[in-house]
Amino acid sequence: MGVLDLFRLDGKTALVTGAAKGLGRSLALALAEAGADVVGLDKLPCDETARLVEKTGRQFMEIRCDLRYVAGADYNPVIEQVVAAWGKLDILVNNAGVTFPNAVFDIREQDYDEENLVNQKALFFLSQAAGRRMAETGGGKIINIASLNAFVGGLRAASYTATKGAVASITRAMASEWAELGINVNCIAPGWILTDNTRNIWEDKELYAQTCANIPAGRWGRTEDFMGTVVFLASRASDYLHGSIIIVDGGLFLR
């Protein structure tokens, strides 16, 4: 076996949340290009993601679900739907997230609650349901998407920052308990990414230039910048990695 074979995902089944567009779409495509069949969970249609995945020769299944309205126990049927269709679940990517930028004094309770529901509560209970199934079948990979905000305060993002700090802590806690079960739980912490969630900033040329000036790489991340990292964390190449948080930010954290 060559070293590149460690990164192959042939025969694997992956569930990616927030797969309809942006980062989730790129992560789903990356896993498919490495050989995995993909289930995309989103409240929006995943038609374009399905097209791209199927173009690689892999299978795609959509689960339409709004994570704001799912109670903890209701994640078990989501996982069982994947298993019923394809026999197993090997990889879970908790990518779905929302943000409502605002100054601390102006954060509304309803926005705070929604960020918590989607960014950390859904992630926790979906991982719990997936982890139970993975423990029964000999292991698996859970990959959480946090943020550089898990380590820095940021501006106009206090409630979002709180949820992403929780994601980092949940990653470590689950990894500590589940490593002996053959389940790897790790995390990617992006910096600035060109997505719809940040459109209000990168479409402002002056503000975009200001933020780029603080990034050693001189630019914001593109969704494809995360494809290699997610394949690594989903593959055998990361079998001895547990509870790690990989910062992918063009060097922004260094400053």
Active site residues: 160
Helix, strand, coil in percent for the chain, rounding step 5: 55, 15, 30
Strands (DSSP E) found in 28-149 = 37-42, 60-64, 91-94, 140-145
Q: Which residues contact 7 (CB under 8 A, 6 or more apart)?
A: 34, 231, 232, 235, 236, 237
Please, what sign has the CA dihedral across residues 169, 64, 132, 86? negative
Q: Which residues contact 118 (CB under 8 A, 6 or more apart)?
A: 67, 68, 96, 97, 98
Among residues 165, 146, 158, the alpha carbon closest in space to that of 108 is found at: 158
C-alpha to C-alpha distance for 62 and 45, rounded to whole angstroms:
8
Residue found under tokens 């593959």: 235
Q: How many C-beta neighbours within 10 Å does residue 165 have?
A: 16
Q: Which residues contact 229 (CB under 8 A, 6 or more apart)?
A: 188, 246, 248
C-alpha to C-alpha distance for 255 and 252, rounded to whole angstroms:
6
